[in-house]
Structure 1
Amino acid sequence: MQLSDYQRAAVRTDQRPGADLEAITIGLLGLAGEAGSVATEYKKQRRDGAAYRASKIRMREELGDVLWYVADLCEKFGLDLDDVAVANLDKVKDRWRPSPHVEPFDRAFPEHEQLPRQARIEFQLRELDDGRTASAMVWNGAPLGDPLTDAARVEDGYRFHDAFHLAYAAVLGWSPVMRALMRRKRKSDPATDEAEDGGRAVVVEEGISALVFAYASAHDYFDGIQHIDQPMLETIRTLVGGLEVSVLRSADWERAILTGFEVWRTLNQTHGGTVELDADARTLCVV
C-alpha cells in the first residue's frame, strides 16, 4: 500500500473532519496520546519481559494509531503523506550520511589556484612585543597569515582557531580563509573569485568558526562528543546558502567541525604543534 493511499483511506474514518482549529487540536492531542501509549506498551514489555506475550501485537496496534493520526494531520494541513515520507528520508540522509564522494570545488582550476591536497602546517606560540602570546602558522618554511592572539579578555585558545579553517579545507574541500592566506584564490575566473573566494565568503566562514566556538565552549569543546545539535548545523547551512559548499550535507559539516576541534584541543593543550592535512582522505591531524 502506498502511503498516500493509506492517507485517503484513513481520513474517511475521521470523526472530526475539516481543518478548523478544534479539528486540528483534536488531531494533535490524539497523536500525543497515542505516542504515549507506545511508550506505555514498551514499559510493560520491559517490566514483564517474556511473560508479556501480547507485546508485539499491542505495539503494532499502538504504532498503527500513531500512523493514523499522522495521516489525518497531513490531510488537515494539506500535506501528502508520501511527500512527507520522502522529505523526511532526505533530511535524515543529509543529517546522518556524509556525502559519498566530495569532489574538490577547484578541480577544474590551475594547480596554483587549488587548495593543497596534502600539506603540513606548523603552529608556533610566540610572545609579541607587548607581552601577549600569539599563534603563528608556518607552511613550507614561510609564515602563513599573521600571528593571532585570543583577541579576548580571557584566554580561551582561540588563537589556534585556524585549525577550524584547515579542517574545512580538508574535509569539505572549502575554505575561503585558507584560500586567501595561501594565495590560492581562483582569479582566473573573476566571477568565482568574487562570489566564492571574496570578502563576503571569508566573513561567512569566520562567522561560522566564531559561532561554533561559542557553542562548543558550553559543550566542553566537543571533548568526548560525537554529534552536534541539529539546530546548529541548520544555522550553518543557512549561512552558506548560495555558496558552492551548500551542496554538502549536514553530516559533512559535523565531521569537519569535530575534526577541527579535535586538532584544536591538542594544539591548545600542547601549546602548538604540526598539523597534517590530507584532502584526498578528508583528514586533519596533529603529527
Structure 2
Amino acid sequence: MTGNEYQKLAMRTNDRMAINRLHEATAEFHTECKDFGGIINACLGLSGEVGEFNDMIKKWVFHEKELDIEHAKKEAGDIAWYLAMLCESFGWELDEILKMNVEKLKARYPEGFDTYLANHRTEGDV
C-alpha cells in the first residue's frame, strides 16, 4: 500500500465537518466558560510542553544524554502555566481541581498505590 492509497482509504472516515463542529463548540462553550480560545491555547500548549518534557526524558534514558534538571524544572513550570490557563479559561479554581484529584486518589487507593486496584477500578472511576 502506498501512502497515497492509505490517505484515500483512511480519509473515508473524515466527514470534513471539523470547522462546523468548531463553530458549534465555540457558540456552546461561550455560554459555559470564560474563554474558549484560552481552552484551545491551553490544550495545545500543554501538549507541546509535555512533549518537550517527554523528549528530554527520552534522550536521557535512550540517548544517554545528561538530564538538565534546571531545564526540566523550567519545562515543568511551563506545564503548570498551561494548566493554570486551562483552569482560568474554564472559570475553575486550580485549588479545587487539585483537591478533587487528591480525593479521587484517596478513594481509589485508600492504603496507597496498589497494582490490583490500579487494574480493577470501580465503575465510574475516571
TM-score range, shorter chain: 0.5 to 0.7
Task: Tell me which residue corresponds to 2:58.
Answer: 43
* Structure that is richer in helix per residue: 2
> What is the percent sequence identity of the aligned residues?
31
Quote the Cα distance in structure 2 between the aligned partners of 1:84 and 1:24.
Answer: 16
Check if 1:89 corresponds to 2:102. Answer: yes
| Structure 2 letter corresponding to 1:93 | K
Structure with higher Rg: it is 1
* Structure that is richer in strand per residue: 1
1:193-235 CA-partner distances (Å, limit 9, x unpaired): xxxxxxxxxxxxxxxxxxxxxxxxxxxxxxxx824343xx134
SS class of match (1:19): coil
Task: Tell me which residue corresponds to 1:226.
Answer: 116
- Larger relative contact order (CA 8 Å, sep ≥ 6): 2
TM-score of the pair, normalised by structure 2: 0.60
TM-score of the pair, normalised by structure 1: 0.28
CA contact (8 A) 2:56 2:72 kept: yes
1:42-64 CA-partner distances (Å, limit 9, x unpaired): 01211344x52x52111111111
CA shift, 1:33, in A, is: 0.9
Task: Tell me which residue corresponds to 1:34.
Answer: 49
1:122-201 map, 5 Å: none
| Structure 2 letter corresponding to 1:32 | S
Pairs aligned (count): 89
Check if 1:22 corresponds to 2:37. Answer: yes
Check if 1:57 corresponds to 2:44. Answer: no
CA contact (8 A) 2:36 2:89 kept: no
Computed over aligned residues only, the root mean square deviation of the Cα atoms, in angstroms, reads 2.4
Quote the Cα distance in structure 2 between the aligned partners of 1:78 and 1:70.
Answer: 12
